[in-house]
Amino acid sequence: MKVYISATLRNFFGRNPVIEISENNIKEILDKLTDEYPEAEKILFDEEGNLRKFVQIYVGDENKTQKEFWSDEIKDNSEVLLLPAVAGGAPRESIISDDRRKAVFFDDSEVERFGRHLLLKDIGVKGQKRIKAARVAVIGAGALGSPVIQYLAAAGVGTIKVIDFDEVKLENLQSQVIHTSRDLNRPKVASAKDKVRNINRNIDFEAANVKLEADNIVSEIDGYDLVIDCSDNFKARYLINDACVLCKIPLVFGAIYQFEGQVGIFNLDGGPCYRCQFPAPPEPGLVPTCAEGGAISPLPGIIGSIQANEALKLIIGIGEHLDGKLLTIDSLYLTSKILKIKKNHSCPICSAGAGITGVEDFDYEEFCGLKEEEQEIPIEGYTPEELAAKIESGEPITIVDVREPHERAILRFPNAIVIPIGQLARRKNELNPEQDTVFICKEGKRSILAINTLREAGYAGPLYNLKGGVDAMKDIVFSHEGAWL
């Protein structure tokens, strides 16, 4: 049978997207995979040997993650999918009430503008009025937000709120097509507002240049018909999910990584939420974000367009949709699957006996592993200037690069040795405990995981993190090279 490895896991499986295997149940498959690919054991299982909660196992379109299914015989030619968080049927009716639809009117220019929608039997005048009456909040004006915002505006969604606290950077322009060179250093929400005004000035656009936290997210999304998650980190995903559950707002989810994307609809009419599928996020550094791992330019256009399409179907009340399903798309190998998501009746946020009753009462920093435990040894680090000075002076120092091969190909680091995080424990003897060892990655996050991994393995030498990663060191010039790092 074939075992499909999701893009975010492939580095632990020799970069193989598909592995042919002869074992006939999940336990045997996992044992075989971890025997052949020892580095995969850390990403799949925690210290107690339990499957990590951010990993799901599917046989065909059936979720077989629970251990009770692991000894069941799997038929020959079945397809098994290892799916990590990156992150149906038709609706009974539109999420926009008839009263709100009837309160909407079109002028002559709108009849002309939306003529192609009005001609569609499944949309028509009633459907287009629902679109105009809709209030949609889009969280994130980056890669996924770019197509979502523009297609919602082009379709005539009456009120669009965009929430993002970031500014436009040059590296954003590769995939965030709502922004241009003229928008550099501007708030992304201001850039998005200009683009929407150029598409349709009749749209009520609300720009929220704020960072979502537990104490403000409910007030930012309350009163909207639909939330579209175009964020790029796990803290935001769980924060958005929980707020939508508590506010009873449907959520259109999207996620991308390298060549792979996911789309789903959560919290619709009592359906499953994001936590039902992924109860807990991965530990920091185990799965890179799209910012760390990259994504091919058209991918957010593909995934974001599907998100916008799902949103419009919910607003109009037509078609099949992804409620209780997760669509996965691999643009590199041109494959896609629709996987079923079951409601978790023990879910801490959406089940009948949910323990989480308010977003403000939940510590998302701690939940997503972003807060250092008090008992942990603080991670010491060098600034780019401090590390450069040590390198220039010739001071004995070991630099370990834990970045991916494609990241090193873009920007090398002089005299660094390469050790993937999964190999650190067994290769710790290659390091000299008598001198400083500095770990580097793209942004200074995975290197912290590397240091903690070595500490757990019993390494006693001095360990340091490059603060801000290689990104923070791009402007450093070494005299012996006469060029930028």
Residue 106 exposed, middle or buried by CB count within 10 Å (0-12, 13-18, 19+): middle
Judgement on whether residues 181 and 311 belong to the same structural domain of the protein: yes
What is the pLDDT averaged over residues 91-105? 85
High-pLDDT (> 90) share of the chain, %: 42
What is the pLDDT averaged over residues 110-122? 91
pLDDT greater at residue 214 or residue 327: 327
Residues that are catalytic? 290, 441
The mean pLDDT value of the chain amounts to 85
Taking 50 as the threshold, does the pLDDT of residue 375 lie above it? no
Judgement on whether residues 180 and 253 belong to the same structural domain of the protein: yes
Contact 72, 108 (CB under 8 A): no
Taking 80 as the threshold, does the pLDDT of residue 352 lie above it? no
In the prediction, which pLDDT does 456 show? 82
What is the pLDDT averaged over residues 407-419? 81
Taking 80 as the threshold, does the pLDDT of residue 56 lie above it? yes
Report the distance separating Cα 442 and Cα 445, nearest Å: 8
Give the range among 122-126, 310-314, 413-417 with minimum mean pLDDT: 413-417
In a domain? residue 272: yes
What is the pLDDT averaged over residues 70-77? 84
Tokens of 479: 């005299």
Per-residue pLDDT tens over the stretch 287-305 = 555 555 568 899 999 999 9
In a domain? residue 239: yes
Report the distance separating Cα 196 and Cα 214, nearest Å: 28
CATH assignment of the domain containing 29: 3.10.20.30
What is the pLDDT averaged over residues 45-51? 84
Report which of 253, 245, 35 is spatially closest to residue 138, judged by C-alpha positions: 253
Judgement on whether residues 289 and 246 belong to the same structural domain of the protein: yes
Question: In which band, very low, low, confident or very high, does the pLDDT at 255 lie, cut at 50, 70 and 90?
Answer: very high
Report the distance separating Cα 182 and Cα 162, nearest Å: 20
CATH assignment of the domain containing 197: 3.40.50.720
In a domain? residue 121: no
What is the pLDDT averaged over residues 329-356? 85
Q: What is the pTM (predicted TM-score) of this model?
A: 0.68
Give the range among 302-316, 330-344, 356-370 with minimum mean pLDDT: 356-370
Taking 90 as the threshold, does the pLDDT of residue 93 lie above it? no
What is the pLDDT averaged over residues 134-151? 96
* Residue 429 Cα distances to 8, 380, 423, 437, 461, angstroms: 29, 21, 11, 12, 11
Contact 249, 242 (CB under 8 A): no
Report the distance separating Cα 177 and Cα 169, nearest Å: 12
Judgement on whether residues 321 and 285 belong to the same structural domain of the protein: yes
In the prediction, which pLDDT does 389 show? 87
In the prediction, which pLDDT does 260 show? 92
CATH assignment of the domain containing 412: 3.40.250.10
Residue 14 gets the label, from left (phi > 0), alpha (psi -120 to 50) or beta, of left
In the prediction, which pLDDT does 166 show? 93
What amino acid is encoded at 231 in this protein?
S
pLDDT greater at residue 42 or residue 145: 145
Report the distance separating Cα 415 and Cα 442, nearest Å: 16
Question: In which band, very low, low, confident or very high, does the pLDDT at 284 lie, cut at 50, 70 and 90?
Answer: low
**Boundary residue ending a domain (312, 344, 367):** 367
In the prediction, which pLDDT does 137 show? 97
Taking 60 as the threshold, does the pLDDT of residue 105 lie above it? yes
Taking 90 as the threshold, does the pLDDT of residue 124 lie above it? yes
**Boundary residue ending a domain (84, 118, 146):** 84
In the prediction, which pLDDT does 289 show? 54
Question: In which band, very low, low, confident or very high, does the pLDDT at 462 lie, cut at 50, 70 and 90?
Answer: very high
Contacts of 50 (CB under 8 A, 6+ apart): none
Judgement on whether residues 225 and 295 belong to the same structural domain of the protein: yes
In a domain? residue 124: no
Judgement on whether residues 412 and 464 belong to the same structural domain of the protein: yes
Taking 70 as the threshold, does the pLDDT of residue 101 lie above it? yes
In a domain? residue 114: no
Strand 2-5 to 18-20 pairing:
antiparallel
Give the range among 46-55, 82-91, 335-344, 403-412 with minimum mean pLDDT: 82-91
In the prediction, which pLDDT does 89 show? 39
Judgement on whether residues 303 and 421 belong to the same structural domain of the protein: no
Judgement on whether residues 389 and 453 belong to the same structural domain of the protein: yes
Calculate ∠ Cα 404-417-460, nearest 5°. Answer: 105
**Boundary residue ending a domain (53, 84, 115):** 84
Q: What is the count of structural domains for the chain?
A: 3
Judgement on whether residues 333 and 389 belong to the same structural domain of the protein: no
Judgement on whether residues 173 and 273 belong to the same structural domain of the protein: yes
Question: In which band, very low, low, confident or very high, does the pLDDT at 91 lie, cut at 50, 70 and 90?
Answer: very low
What is the pLDDT averaged over residues 73-101? 75
Judgement on whether residues 233 and 289 belong to the same structural domain of the protein: yes
In a domain? residue 376: no
Report the distance separating Cα 370 and Cα 149, nearest Å: 29
Question: In which band, very low, low, confident or very high, does the pLDDT at 374 lie, cut at 50, 70 and 90?
Answer: very low
Domain carrying residue 73: 2-84
Residue 355 exposed, middle or buried by CB count within 10 Å (0-12, 13-18, 19+): exposed
Taking 60 as the threshold, does the pLDDT of residue 268 lie above it? yes
Taking 90 as the threshold, does the pLDDT of residue 143 lie above it? yes
Judgement on whether residues 357 and 405 belong to the same structural domain of the protein: no
Across 154-266, the runs of DSSP E, i.e. the strands, are 159-163, 204-208, 226-229, 251-257, 260-266
In a domain? residue 98: no
Residue 375 gets the label, from left (phi > 0), alpha (psi -120 to 50) or beta, of alpha
In a domain? residue 413: yes
Give the range among 86-95, 219-228, 306-315, 421-430 with minimum mean pLDDT: 86-95
